[in-house]
Structure 1
Amino acid sequence: MADGFDLDHHGDLEVGDGLVDLAVNVRAGTPPGWLIEEITASLTDLAAYPRQDAAVAAVAGRHDVSPDRVLLTAGAAEAFVLIARAFRPRHAVVVHPQFTEPEAALRSAGHVVDRVVLRPEDGFVLDPRAVPADADLVVIGNPTNPTSVLHHADDLRELARPDRILVVDEAFMDAIPGEPESLAGASIPGLVVIRSLTKTWGLAGLRVGYVLAAAGLIEQLAAVQPHWPVSTPALAAAIACSNERAVAEAAQAALDIERQRAHLLDSLGPVPTYGLPRGPFVLVHVEGGAVLRESLRERGFAVRRGDTFPGLGPDWLRIAVRPEDVTDAFAKVWRDLTT
């Protein structure tokens, strides 16, 4: 617990036997068959130690950067741990509400962490001036989990300083059509962009993600990373998810998610939301949210509690975007309980 918030609580803890999962932000129906085939084919190479060269080159090509600006990781979670180990900030700041793993990793490494808490009445929109000028490590999600708000790239660029590490968690960026505010591949001093293959491709159990940063920062992160951190099957997934076919499929999936999110919001009725949701989930505020969440569980649906995110409380719930038929079944129960 940190100041009353359970930073180690994640959506998978909400899911149980027989419950429809609207708590975990992994795209439904994944991984696709062709990706399973690529991963399965790699199993014949398990006797050899993993070689990253091809996967690094594939990710570098995907983002049009040189391979020395790519670090493969065992999911985005490992990237946050490496950041906490590699850098020694005097004043670390995490912008909340957001994914709690970055702050948890920094605290576990012994760093003192300050919070900049965005307000619902401002639509959870970032004002760069709210970040202390002397902060030498700043972490922000884009789009942000759990608010689903997409920050403007120009506002994030305004956070960059020559003596500051700016960490932008883009784990959900490929779920937004065109990735309009992405900084992946941008040449900004101190910028560290984190990406995950978990959300779009349904690979939470495989643990694969990557960091994009200047070569010098990549060297610092790699220096505190264990040998062979990414398994052979995960490397195969990184290669497969970086080719033109996969990028095109992800782009179509982002369009599908946009349509499904609009359907979810329409189906929920007049429930308060704050900010413009752009990710594959929505954050809602409802009186008696904690009781409602338990009632939803009793009726077969798991949603994510909001009170473990700094800046939120028990009346906030995060709901994952799902195909229309799943949303329709959920919305019927939701309306029964809220009207």
Structure 2
Amino acid sequence: MRTDSGDRDGSASTSDGGQGQGHDLRHHGDAEVRDDGSALVDLAVNVRAGTPPDWLRGRIAASLGGLAAYPDGRAARAAVAARHGLPVERVLLTAGAAEAFVLLARALKVRHPVVVHPQFTEPEAALRDAGHTVDRVLLRPEEGFRLDPSAVPEDADLVVIGNPTNPTSVLHPAGLIAELACPGRTLVVDEAFMDAVPEEREALAGRTDVPGLVVLRSLTKTWGLAGLRIGYVLAAPETIGELERAQPLWPVSTPALAAAEACMTPEALAEQARAAQRVATDRAHLVAGLREFASDGVRVAEPAEGPFVLVSLPGAVAVRERLRRLGFAVRRGDTFPGLDGTWLRLAVRDRSTVNRFLQALDQAVSLTGP
């Protein structure tokens, strides 16, 4: 693990349009399937396939009759609070987790923000867009991308980390992340993929004993709601108040509020738990198949705990293009700080899709020509 700080080592200026020391912080998986995406099997975007389910579509559709009224988020906020055993004063509904990162960057008075990478790039992009100079703690692949809390500078007053982390699929122990908390520091934990982890092991959502803790959740991944934009923040009431004052009026639409409320029911949580178990089974099948390519230089970042897997391999750029020609879109890794062009991220899909992908990968790594 190492720390990058200043323009020399990795914390770029705030005026380069999302380019951070050679990393395109605004590149996301949807770019891999845009335009000709209909012809590709999507392993680039981490949204669960086959979603949203019909019952959730029905709840969203039923809310359309209320579009003439301004959104009222009280019921959805109460449902989220009840799901995590918190008072409503500790909950803020947002237009996706991405809005929460922008609110944090703009609303909180921060002197020394630190982002633990590799991870989702939007937190750093939002901080830099708000005028902050951002330091990076880079987790090393040879150490399994594992967190060492002592590597975070003591004077950091905002620390951002994902759990499980996109794109490494590492699930950090909750106790280890809690060690990052200290007086005067805001600790932001992005748990956008935690609902894809069986029993949500290592979750910090719902905890009130960790000082300065801010947990972000998204309903995008498990429920297939990327186009609806719905997420939420869990934090101390005073932090929620600061973020809420930075929000525009009525930031979450009526259909998104209906989805949030629906996804908090016992029936929905039971379905979520079943989906997490399927992801774990399908991921194990994918990882086992990838291990068969070890002689070709394919290396899997393990243990993977999220609904995606990070792999490194020689000629990854060419392999990615060959996979596109064979009908599969995968996520390039070089836009994540701490990774380079030898890395690819693969979304977990069902066994049949994985088998077809592994056949395509076999062809892609064996080809020597364009």
Q: Normalising by structure 2, what TM-score?
A: 0.91
Q: Select the residue among 287, 292, 295 that pairs with 2:322.
A: 295
CA distance in 1, matches of 2:168, 2:314: 17
Give the corresponding residue for 2:304: 277
**TM-fit CA distance, 1:202:** 0.2
CA distance in 1, matches of 2:351, 2:252: 35
Measured against aligned partners, the alpha-carbon deviations of 1:268-322 in whole angstroms (never above 9, x if no partner) come to 2233122310000000000010110011001110000000000000110000000
What's the Cα RMSD here? 0.7
Measured against aligned partners, the alpha-carbon deviations of 1:51-103 in whole angstroms (never above 9, x if no partner) come to 01000000001111000100000000000000001112111000000000000
The alignment covers a number of residue pairs equal to 339
Preserved contact between residue 121 and residue 274 of structure 1 (Cα < 8 Å): no
Counterpart AA for 1:299: L
Structure 2 unaligned segments of length 5 or more: list them: 1-18
Alignment partner of 1:199 is 2:221: yes
Give the corresponding residue for 1:159: 180
**TM-fit CA distance, 1:338:** 1.9
Give the corresponding residue for 1:2: 20
Alignment partner of 1:148 is 2:148: no
Give the corresponding residue for 2:50: 29
Measured against aligned partners, the alpha-carbon deviations of 1:219-271 in whole angstroms (never above 9, x if no partner) come to 01001000000000000000000010010000000000000001111122233
2:20 is paired with a residue whose SS is: coil
Counterpart AA for 2:283: R
Preserved contact between residue 198 and residue 276 of structure 2 (Cα < 8 Å): yes
Preserved contact between residue 124 and residue 275 of structure 1 (Cα < 8 Å): no
Measured against aligned partners, the alpha-carbon deviations of 1:23-72 in whole angstroms (never above 9, x if no partner) come to 00000110000000000000000000000100000000111100010000
Preserved contact between residue 125 and residue 275 of structure 1 (Cα < 8 Å): no
Give the corresponding residue for 1:335: 362
Q: Normalising by structure 1, what TM-score?
A: 0.99
Give the corresponding residue for 1:11: 29
Give the corresponding residue for 1:221: 243
CA distance in 1, matches of 2:106, 2:364: 46
Give the corresponding residue for 2:4: none
Counterpart AA for 1:39: I
Preserved contact between residue 286 and residue 316 of structure 1 (Cα < 8 Å): yes
Measured against aligned partners, the alpha-carbon deviations of 1:202-225 in whole angstroms (never above 9, x if no partner) come to 000000000000111000100100
CA distance in 1, matches of 2:301, 2:246: 39
Measured against aligned partners, the alpha-carbon deviations of 1:104-127 in whole angstroms (never above 9, x if no partner) come to 000000000000000000000000
Counterpart AA for 1:302: A
CA distance in 1, matches of 2:275, 2:302: 23
CA distance in 2, matches of 1:174, 1:124: 21
Preserved contact between residue 55 and residue 235 of structure 1 (Cα < 8 Å): yes
Give the corresponding residue for 2:150: 129
Measured against aligned partners, the alpha-carbon deviations of 1:107-162 in whole angstroms (never above 9, x if no partner) come to 00000000000000000000000100100000000000000000010111100011
CA distance in 2, matches of 1:95, 1:303: 24
| Structure 1 segment 67-78 matched on structure 2, within 5 A | 67-78=88-99
CA distance in 2, matches of 1:88, 1:287: 44
1:94 is paired with a residue whose SS is: strand
Structure 1 unaligned segments of length 5 or more: list them: none
2:276 is paired with a residue whose SS is: helix
Alignment partner of 1:97 is 2:118: yes
CA distance in 2, matches of 1:156, 1:17: 39
Preserved contact between residue 92 and residue 112 of structure 1 (Cα < 8 Å): yes
Counterpart AA for 1:137: L
Preserved contact between residue 301 and residue 309 of structure 2 (Cα < 8 Å): no
Give the corresponding residue for 1:323: 350
**TM-fit CA distance, 1:17:** 3.0
CA distance in 2, matches of 1:140, 1:246: 27
